[in-house]
């Protein structure tokens, strides 16, 4: 059993890893601004030089870095460098928000059960790329999004929260993406706040969400 602890007396520090537009990053920042999420984003890292998420972080005065995986001799070496940056920034939790690369053992060794991801489908259905298109093509009646801990697999870690949306007969990848994204923006900050308040624990492959707020003495 493993609980994500955040030191009492200060906000949970988030490192956000993202490859693209950064709408989940923005939703997280809005939740922080509005007091719904007791956290602060200390660094944003992208594997894409032109990723809009980097300029969005810059506008907010948040440290932002482009890490080019091709600059490293191996995936492991890149993972080690990323972990080092997150540690230097004092991150308690790593938040993947549209980060399109797998993180391996060399990263997770430092942030096991302290790395979370959001995926635009109801896992374990439709892991991997273009999950919304997979759902439309399969003809499912419902899809949604999943916030889960990251392990070495592809979208396989213990599930924290899920939200369901209907899939309509004439949906396209774009219309379903938009419907799911609205849920993502609500669900991700909510999951992060549960973690920030010490209510989330990993029990084997499952996640327990505690009903009561824990005090420092009983954790």
Identity of the residue, 65 or 216, whose beta carbon is nearer to ligand GAR in the bound complex? 65
CB of 160 to ligand GAR, least distance (A): 14
Catalytic residue among 5, 84, 110, 119: 119
Residue pair 162/183 in contact (Cβ under 8 Å)? The answer is no
If one asks whether residue 125 binds ligand GAR (CB under 6 A), the answer comes out as no
If one asks whether residue 157 binds ligand GAR (CB under 6 A), the answer comes out as no
**Nearest residue to 91 via CA among 82, 78, 80:** 82
Binding-residue total with ligand GAR (CB under 6 A): 14
d(CA 87, CA 110): 9
Identity of the residue, 42 or 54, whose beta carbon is nearer to ligand GAR in the bound complex? 54
- Choose, by CB under 6 A, the member of 3, 5, 11, 21 that binds ligand GAR: 21
Token pair of 168 as six digits: 């309509």
Q: For tokens 């889960």, what's the residue? A: 148
If one asks whether residue 20 binds ligand GAR (CB under 6 A), the answer comes out as yes
Print the binding letters for residues 79-98 with ligand GAR: x by CB under 6 A, - otherwise: ------------------xx
Q: Report the site for ligand GAR in 43-82 (rule: CB under 6 A).
A: none
10 Å Cβ neighbour count for 185? 19
- Choose, by CB under 6 A, the member of 6, 24, 134, 143 that binds ligand GAR: 24
If one asks whether residue 144 binds ligand GAR (CB under 6 A), the answer comes out as no
Please report the DSSP string for 120-154 in residue order. Answer: SS-TTSS-SS-HHHHHHHHT-SEEEEEEEE--SSS
CA atoms within 13 A on the CB side of 79: 15
Query: Which range touches ligand GAR (CB under 6 A), out of 4-12, 106-114, 115-123, 202-210?
Result: 115-123
d(CA 102, CA 213): 33
d(CA 2, CA 198): 11
Identity of the residue, 6 or 177, whose beta carbon is nearer to ligand GAR in the bound complex? 177
Whether residue 119 lies in the annotated active site: yes
If one asks whether residue 39 binds ligand GAR (CB under 6 A), the answer comes out as no
Beta-sheet pairing, 39-46 with 12-17:
parallel
Residue pair 185/163 in contact (Cβ under 8 Å)? The answer is no
If one asks whether residue 136 binds ligand GAR (CB under 6 A), the answer comes out as no
Positions marked catalytic = 119
Residues that bind ligand GAR (CB under 6 A): 18, 20-24, 97-98, 118-120, 131, 181, 184
């Amino acid at each position: 059993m493993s609980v994500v602890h955040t030191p009492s007396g200060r906000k949970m520090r988030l490192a956000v890893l993202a490859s693209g537009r950064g709408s989940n990053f923005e939703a997280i920042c809005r939740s922080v601004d509005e007091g719904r999420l007791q956290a602060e984003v200390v660094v944003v890292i992208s594997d894409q030089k032109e990723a809009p998420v980097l300029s969005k972080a810059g506008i907010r005065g948040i440290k932002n870095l482009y890490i080019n995986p091709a600059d490293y001799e191996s995936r492991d070496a890149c993972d080690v460098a990323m972990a080092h940056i997150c540690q230097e920034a004092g991150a308690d939790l790593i938040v993947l928000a549209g980060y399109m690369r797998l993180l391996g053992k060399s990263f997770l060794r430092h942030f096991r059960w302290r790395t979370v991801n959001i995926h635009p489908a109801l896992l374990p259905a439709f892991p991997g790329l273009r999950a919304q298109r997979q759902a439309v093509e399969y003809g499912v009646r419902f899809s949604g999004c999943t916030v889960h801990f990251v392990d070495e697999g592809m979208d396989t870690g213990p599930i924290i929260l899920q939200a369901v949306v209907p899939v309509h007969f004439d949906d396209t990848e774009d219309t379903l993406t938009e419907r799911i994204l609205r849920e993502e923006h609500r669900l991700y900050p909510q999951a992060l706040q549960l973690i920030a308040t010490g209510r989330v624990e990993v029990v084997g492959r499952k996640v327990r969400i505690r009903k009561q707020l824990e005090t420092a003495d009983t954790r």
